[in-house]
Amino acid sequence: MKNLMLILPVFMLTACMGIARLDTYQQAQIEAQLPPIDPEGGQLCMFRVSSFIGMAATFNMQANSEDIGRLSNSSYFCANLLPGEYIITGEASYGRVRVAGVGTETTIRQGQRKYIELKTDVTTSAGQLIHQTREIGLGAIYNIMKRSEQ
Specify the DSSP element, H or E, that contains 119: strand 113-120
pLDDT in tens, 11-37: 333 344 578 788 888 999 999 999 999
Residue 20 CA to residue 138 CA, distance in Å, equals 8
Q: Give the range of the structural domain holding residue 105, as residue numbers without chain letter.
A: 2-149
Give the CATH number, domain containing residue 78.
Answer: 2.60.40.1120
Closest Cα to residue 144, out of 24, 33, 10?
33
Handedness of CA 96, 64, 57, 34 (dihedral sign): positive
User: Residue 141's CB: how many other CB atoms inside 10 A?
Assistant: 25
**pTM of this structure:** 0.80
pLDDT value for 18: 72
pLDDT class for 128, splitting at 50, 70, 90?
confident
pLDDT value for 19: 81
> How many domains, the chain?
1
